[in-house]
Each structure stands twice: as C-alpha cells, then as structure tokens.
Amino acid sequence: MAFSFSARSRAIEPFHVMALLARANELQAAGHDVIHLEIGEPDFSTAAPIVAAGQAALGVGHTRYTAARGLPQLREAIAGFYASRYRLNVDPERILITPGGSGALLLASSLLVDPGKHWLLADPGYPCNRHFLRLVEGAAQLVPVGPQSRYQLTPEHIQQHWNQDSVGALLASPANPTGTLLHKDELAALSAVLKARGGHLVVDEIYHGLTYGVDASSVLEVDDEAFVLNSFSKYFGMTGWRLGWLVAPPEAVGELEKLAQNLYISAPSVAQYAALACFEADTLAILEERRAEFARRRDFLLPALRDLGFGIAVEPEGAFYLYADISAFGGDAYRFCQHFIETEHVAFTPGVDFGRYQADHHVRFAYTQNLERLQQAVDRIARGLKSWRP
C-alpha cells in the first residue's frame, strides 16, 4: 500500500544527530567505549527525594487523571518558587502543568499562531520550536544571529524583520545550543518593541537554574503579559518524567485549559506528585550541588576546546552546551561529527540541527559527562584532529 502523508509531516525535519546517535550506539554495542556529548540530557539520575515522592504517589494510588491545568498544590508550589527565587507574585491560577516543556510550547503555539502567521526566532536555536509552529500551520521566521548579539535576538532584529505576518517572537534564555542569556534590560527592551507592534512575547526559560556566575532574570520581572515556557527536565533533572509548565496572562488561561483538555487531557499524574518534592530544601541543595558541577565542567571544557582551535567567541552563562565554530578545520559539520564517531568514538551534534545560519561551520558539545570523561573526550578529539581531512 502506498501511503500519502501530510505536507506538514514532510516539512518537519528529523534530528540529524539521531543518525549519528544510532551509529554511536552501534559502536557501543560492538564493545567500543563511546563518549556521548551529543544529547541534551544530564548524566545525573533524578534526585532521590523526587524519586521517593513518585514511589509514594504510586503506593497510594495517585495514578488517575488530574485536572487539565494540573495539580493545584503543584501550581501553588511553582508560584512559591517564583516568589522565593525571583521575588515575583505569580498567581497559581496563571500556571498550567504540561507534558514536558514541549507541551507548553504546543499550547502557546496553538493559542497564538494562525495559519500563515509566524514568530521571529533566533537562528541558531532549538529546532523543535520551528517545527511546532509548522505543526499548527504557522511558520518560524529565522533571524540569523551571531556572536555580536551573543546569538540572541535584539530590538533591532525585531524592527528589521517584522512584517505583516508577524505575530510575536519566541526567545530562549539560557539558549540551546549557545548557552547565552538575555539580561533584564534586554528582556525589557524586547518586550517594548514587541508591544509597540502588538506582538506576543514568548520566552523559553527551560534552562533557568542552570546558570554560572549570574542568575537568570525571568521575563515576568519586566513583562507580566509574557508567556513563559519552563520544564522540570533540566535543572530539576526529570527528563523522562515528561513534565513542564506554562505561565500565561489571566485572559489566556481559559483558552489554554480548553486546548489542554483536548490535546493531552492532563500531564502525567505520578510525575506531578513527584515534582512536589522539587521545591523542598533537601532537593534544592542537591540541585545546587549539580549546578556547581556543571560550572566546573564548563570551566574545563571551554578553554580545552579553544586550545584545540575551536572557535567559541561567547562564553556561555547557562545551560550545558558549547556551540563551537569549526571553520579552522574546514569541511562540513556533519562529516566532521561522523569522523569523530568513527575514529575516536566521541559523539557531538552538527550545527545543521539548530538552523541554517552558518550551520555547516558549527557543532554543539553537551558537557553532560563527568570531568574524567570530558578529559578523555578532549584527548581523543586532539588525536582525531590529526587524522581529519576536510
């Protein structure tokens, strides 16, 4: 039977790194020692107090649907977290619990983007952002950004690229793949330029908590009408639990709840009960120790890669990625990544997964392995550069 698939499905690109990951896993299954620096998942397992809370929830039978907006006590706990960490008064009624940060993005894009309309997005950026827009028959207008703006959109970018089909902008702070932040004054300036055009401001704050030497400002500190995407996956270390949240203006909550009811009914109930433990003092102490470890990893890997000739013009202040220019070595990024998987068994991600602007000249390293493994990776990369032929 010949299947005919939708145009939207055909337009959504695969993760190119998945083919590299499959090859890396083949090599690993064959007995090779592969160092994985390609996937954006911390090597730490979920903190013990969170696991214990999930087990307790299972033990007492908390396995049924919750309300579409999520457990009231979890929404209250998140509001308390905004109060303690950001000194913000966020009404729990404005918070919707979602299946991962992806669920939050699905709700926001479904609510705000009509067919043919678009958001402005930084290029490079997280690829699923533009794919969700395509899914709702909208589009991403990719704006080339580089070290000059720390790979972030600026008010000048908005002014230059805004047109009759623009309805908003999706920002990320800290950003994937570059790890750069938008600081409070920059968020305020971007909010102002979008408000002047009647545009929505949506900010991905999924890597909040994973910053080094500086605290990330929430866009809610400067714009109470912004939409905020967040997740329990990164700072809280709950990747496989599939849990996130969305903060929305009060006027949008009813419509978002209706969408949630139809799109996924509710976020996983056991994950929600487990997440209540995220905000306990003992858990936060564990998470802060992990943040310090990520800082040590960044502080090792950044100069080590620069010493090898990788171009990293902007020091990342958050997340756990280094976005590196490989122009000094020639060739295209995908072949470059293939070379190191095959010869040195080190896996990292080609820039083509993150957009189009100079993508062939960049790769992303995720420092989600311990310092010993990172040292081994650097040694292997140094050796592999000697055998690389563009």
Residue 234, pLDDT above cutoff 90: yes
Condensed to tens digits (0 to 9), the pLDDT of residues 349-358 reads 999 999 999 9
Same domain, residue pair 101 and 142: yes
Same domain, residue pair 26 and 122: no
CATH number of the domain enclosing 98: 3.40.640.10
Q: Which of 222, 245, 280 is the last residue of a domain?
A: 280
What SS3 class is residue 352? helix
Closest C-alpha to 377, from 315, 297, 316, 319:
297
Q: Which of 222, 250, 280 is the last residue of a domain?
A: 280
**What percentage of the chain has pLDDT greater than the value 70?**
100
Domain assignment present for residue 344? The answer is: yes
C-alpha–C-alpha distance, residues 351 and 364, integer Å = 7
CA 124 from chain center: how many Å?
A: 12
Domain assignment present for residue 265? The answer is: yes
CA distances from 96 to 64, 71, 104 (A): 18, 9, 8
Q: Could you tell me the residue range of the domain that residue 237 belongs to?
A: 48-280
Same domain, residue pair 163 and 237: yes
Same domain, residue pair 82 and 218: yes
Same domain, residue pair 162 and 113: yes
Domain assignment present for residue 3? The answer is: no
Q: What's the mean pLDDT in 166-189?
A: 98
Residue 262, pLDDT above cutoff 80: yes
Q: What is the pLDDT of residue 39?
A: 86
Same domain, residue pair 155 and 113: yes
Confidence label for 21 from pLDDT (cuts 50, 70 and 90)? confident
Condensed to tens digits (0 to 9), the pLDDT of residues 71-128 reads 999 999 999 999 999 999 999 999 999 999 999 999 999 999 999 999 999 999 998 9
Residue 1, pLDDT above cutoff 80: no
Domain assignment present for residue 140? The answer is: yes
Question: b/e per residue, 251-288, with b = 16+ CB within 10 A?
Answer: ebbeebbebbeeeeebbbbbbbbbbbbbbeeebbebbe
Q: Residue 225: how many CA atoms within 13 Å on its side-chain side?
A: 12
CATH number of the domain enclosing 334: 3.90.1150.10
Q: What's the mean pLDDT in 129-158?
A: 96
Domain assignment present for residue 5? The answer is: no
Domain assignment present for residue 222? The answer is: yes
Residue 2, pLDDT above cutoff 80: no
Condensed to tens digits (0 to 9), the pLDDT of residues 153-162 reads 999 999 999 9
Residue 338, pLDDT above cutoff 90: yes
| DSSP codes joined into one string, 67-123 | -TT--HHHHHHHHHHHHHHH-----GGGEEEESHHHHHHHHHHHHH--TT-EEEEEE
Give the least confident one: 15-19, 122-126, 362-366, 383-387.
15-19
Residue 178, pLDDT above cutoff 80: yes
Q: What is the pLDDT of residue 3?
A: 83
C-alpha–C-alpha distance, residues 173 and 210, integer Å = 11
**What percentage of the chain has pLDDT greater than the value 90?**
92
C-alpha–C-alpha distance, residues 389 and 14, integer Å = 27
CA angle 225, 229, 230 (to 5 degrees): 130
In contact, 225 and 252? CB cutoff 8 Å: no
Beta bridge partners of 35: 346
On the 0-12 / 13-18 / 19+ scale of CB atoms within 10 A, 27 is middle
Domain count, the chain: 2
Same domain, residue pair 266 and 322: no
Residue 267, pLDDT above cutoff 80: yes
What SS3 class is residue 41? coil
Condensed to tens digits (0 to 9), the pLDDT of residues 237-258 reads 999 999 999 999 999 999 999 9
Q: What is the pLDDT of residue 164?
A: 96
Q: What is the pLDDT of residue 378?
A: 98
Same domain, residue pair 317 and 261: no
Confidence label for 40 from pLDDT (cuts 50, 70 and 90)? confident
Residue 296, pLDDT above cutoff 80: yes
C-alpha–C-alpha distance, residues 180 and 149, integer Å = 10
Q: What is the pLDDT of residue 16?
A: 80
Q: What is the pLDDT of residue 61?
A: 97
Q: Please give the single-letter amino acid code of residue 311.
A: G
Q: What is the pLDDT of residue 14?
A: 81
C-alpha–C-alpha distance, residues 241 and 54, integer Å = 10
Q: Which of 280, 315, 344 is the last residue of a domain?
A: 280
Q: What is the pLDDT of residue 331?
A: 84
In contact, 316 and 174? CB cutoff 8 Å: yes
Q: What's the mean pLDDT in 265-277?
A: 98
Q: What's the mean pLDDT in 133-148?
A: 96
Condensed to tens digits (0 to 9), the pLDDT of residues 202-215 reads 999 999 999 999 99
Who contacts 269 (Cβ-Cβ below 8 Å, separation ≥6)? 57, 62, 63, 64, 65, 66, 71
Same domain, residue pair 305 and 164: no
| DSSP codes joined into one string, 160-213 | HH--TTEEEEEEESS-TTT-----HHHHHHHHHHHHTTT-EEEEE-TTTT-BSS
Same domain, residue pair 241 and 345: no
In contact, 321 and 17? CB cutoff 8 Å: no
Who contacts 276 (Cβ-Cβ below 8 Å, separation ≥6)? 53, 71, 73, 74, 77
Q: What is the pLDDT of residue 18?
A: 81
Q: What is the pLDDT of residue 303?
A: 98
Q: What's the mean pLDDT in 325-336?
A: 95
In contact, 173 and 153? CB cutoff 8 Å: no
Same domain, residue pair 204 and 225: yes
H or E segment to which residue 255 belongs: helix 250-263
Same domain, residue pair 311 and 347: yes
Domain assignment present for residue 1? The answer is: no
DSSP state of 20: H
Domain assignment present for residue 248? The answer is: yes
